Amino acid sequence: EAMQAAPSLYTRLGGKEAITAVVDDFVGNVAADRRINGFFAHTDIPRLKRLLVEQICAGSGGPCTYTGRDMQTAHAGMGVTEANFNALVEDLVKSLDKFKVPAKEQQDLLALLGPMKPAIVSR
Ligand code: HEM
């Protein structure tokens, strides 16, 4: 019997469609979140959604290429705080819970995004 590779996080999340559904809902939460929605007042939201899907797809082992800017450049000069960062993660977890993404996959996704924090938080 052949050895079986462990399925990627991308596969465990349910692939591109499931990731797209979570990102749509997540960005909706962010847009409604008065703690942080001011940051996004001039943002092209469909583009942001597309780039988030690409980033999560590529980072989780899926067949995507991230075409956006690096995290430091994208968030430069915004003055994002740790509290802002935590609020955004809370909005993401709300969507992960809503779509019943299991705890292990939530952990693995947050472990993928957590290391980006120093590039994003600037004060
Ligand atoms: C792990 C956390 C985060 C990830 C993975 C992330 C990811 C991204 C990505 C992929 C983009 C698009 C890059 C591009 O425009 O080329 C972006 C843009 C943006 N992010 Fe984040 N981000 C995070 C946290 C935050 C936080 C905490 C804030 C503020 C509360 C924020 C505010 C923004 C804004 C306003 C833009 C749009 C910039 C523009 O319109 O030019 N992000 N982010």
Structural domain spans, the chain: 9-120
CB neighbour class for 109 (10 Å; exposed up to 12, middle 13-18, buried from 19): buried
- Tens-place pLDDT, residues 89-123: 999 999 999 999 999 999 999 999 999 999 999 98
Q: Residue 2: pLDDT band by 50, 70, 90 thresholds?
A: confident
Average pLDDT over residues 80-84: 98
pLDDT of res. 70: 98
Alpha helices in 1-123 (DSSP H): 9-13, 15-32, 45-59, 71-74, 82-98, 103-113, 117-120
CB neighbour class for 91 (10 Å; exposed up to 12, middle 13-18, buried from 19): buried
| Beta carbon of 48 within 6 Å of any ligand 1 atom | yes
- Quickly name the fold that domain 9-120 has: Globin-like (1.10.490)
Cβ–Cβ under 8 Å, residues 88 and 48: no
Atom from ligand 1 closest to the CA of residue 42: 40
Distance 38 CA to ligand 1 centre (A): 12
Residues at the annotated binding site for heme? 75
| Beta carbon of 52 within 6 Å of any ligand 1 atom | yes
Helices 45-59, 15-32: inter-axial angle, 10-degree rounding = 130
Distance 102 CA to ligand 1 centre (A): 25
Q: Evaluate if residue 85 carries a pLDDT over 80.
A: yes
